Amino acid sequence: MSEPVLEIKNLNVGYGLGDQAVRAVRDVNLTLHRGEVLGLAGESGSGKSTLAYGLTRLLPPPGVITGGQVIYHPEQGAAYDVLELSDQQLRGFRWGETAIVFQGAMNSLNPVHKISTQLTDVLRAHRPEMSDAARNARAREMLKLVGIAADRMDAYPHQLSGGMRQRVMIGMALILQPQVVIMDEPTTALDVVMQRQILGQLIELRERLGFSVIFITHDLSLLVEFSNRIAIMYGGRIVEEAPAAAIYKDSLHPYSKGLLGSFPALRGPRRELTGIPGSPPDLKGMPSGCSFHPRCPKAFEPCSGHIPVLGRPGTPDGPTRSVACWLHPAEQPVG
């Protein structure tokens, strides 16, 4: 495996302080390697977006990072902890090193400014030494990269279709050549045809430009197809992390299995599917022990009392994956 580019260590994120605080992300350990697509799957409220905003320090109040480290390895130079950066350094880190494409990115463009203004604005803020002509050329180049004709530079967002706006957002995220791109449900508002085109393009760009992607979505079947590794979150914790094929073919955690079984297949035999009984946990009143145990078909005696640790399971492919489940007790904890 290639070297890590982003290491999340014991990250804890909460909303609010004191007794009423809701712990949205708990003890998350995750490593993003250079050039890989890491999928982050989970239901709404599982903490996947909070994790993404936490590690870029974009959490709006009352969100607070209550502990942990986010170690970033730049292409050159020493690694540093993102959570320790000063405001000035953070400004350079954001967009230059990590960019984020937000949920509902179609609506993240400013409707009263032209695409060109919005693209060059990024350069004006982050590369003040560039000339206007160079900025324009760069913006043009980005649009071409994401498959939009350069003559649409002077269009307003409402003149573009949803798919094109999404491409502009991706182009904008890549304009400073960041090492890490975080995509928070980038295609949920799009149709499947457009979704496939945009993701295909993203994968192609990644191969050409060599950035890493954290891809957040609730659509596990999409992740299995497009990402290298998948981490599955439930109740603020990562419950399983493994190569995409391993998650699909033999997932170890009952929740991953349930999630995979929640998507009817388009091909192959028609099976009776059940989804997962019960409903996702309320972050305010988390069940004791493993937070999945009230819905788990395989829950047994230790599940309700003790929180399972994320660790390498004892299976033959154990070293490449980790799971937090008492069915597969950790031989060696992660982190």
Of the pair 1, 265, the CB lying nearest other proteins is at 265
Angle at 321 between CA 319 and CA 322, to 5 degrees: 110
Find the binder of other proteins among 7, 27, 43, 184 (CB under 8 A): 43
Of the pair 111, 264, the CB lying nearest other proteins is at 264
Find the binder of other proteins among 226, 231, 237, 252 (CB under 8 A): 226
The DSSP H or E segment spanning 91 is helix 87-93
DSSP-derived 3-state class of residue 312: strand
Angle at 85 between CA 83 and CA 87, to 5 degrees: 115
Taking the complex as a whole, how short is the minimal distance between the CB of residue 238 and other proteins, in angstroms?
17
317 binds other proteins (CB under 8 A): no
Of the pair 148, 309, the CB lying nearest other proteins is at 148
Contact call for residues 142 and 119 (beta carbons, < 8 A): yes
Of the pair 4, 162, the CB lying nearest other proteins is at 162
Contact call for residues 65 and 148 (beta carbons, < 8 A): no
Of the pair 191, 331, the CB lying nearest other proteins is at 191
156 binds other proteins (CB under 8 A): no
Q: Which string of x and - marks every residue 197-216 that binds other proteins (by CB under 8 A)?
A: x--x--xx------------
Cα separation, 27 vs 47, whole angstroms: 12
Burial class of 294 by CB neighbour count within 10 A (0 to 12, 13 to 18, 19+)? middle
Residue 63: beta bridge partners?
15
20 binds other proteins (CB under 8 A): no
Label residue 229 left, alpha or beta by phi (over 0 means left) and psi (-120 to 50 means alpha).
beta
Find the binder of other proteins among 33, 85, 219, 294 (CB under 8 A): 219
DSSP-derived 3-state class of residue 64: strand
245 binds other proteins (CB under 8 A): yes
196 binds other proteins (CB under 8 A): yes
Find the binder of other proteins among 132, 191, 317, 331 (CB under 8 A): 191
The region of 2-10, 20-28, 48-56, 221-229 touching other proteins under the rule CB under 8 A is 221-229
Of the pair 117, 221, the CB lying nearest other proteins is at 221
Taking the complex as a whole, how short is the minimal distance between the CB of residue 246 and other proteins, in angstroms?
11
Cα separation, 225 vs 307, whole angstroms: 31
Angle at 254 between CA 252 and CA 256, to 5 degrees: 75
Cα separation, 216 vs 55, whole angstroms: 13
163 binds other proteins (CB under 8 A): yes
Contact call for residues 280 and 43 (beta carbons, < 8 A): yes
DSSP-derived 3-state class of residue 48: helix
Taking the complex as a whole, how short is the minimal distance between the CB of residue 295 and other proteins, in angstroms?
8
Distances, alpha carbon 31 to alpha carbons 15, 125, 231, in Å? 24, 30, 10
Binding residues among 262-301 for other proteins as defined by CB under 8 A: 262-267, 270, 273-277, 279-280
Find the binder of other proteins among 5, 32, 37, 59 (CB under 8 A): 37
Binding residues for other proteins, rule: CB under 8 A, are 37, 43-44, 161, 163-164, 191-193, 195-197, 200, 203-204, 218-222, 224-228, 244-245, 248, 258-267, 270, 273-277, 279-280
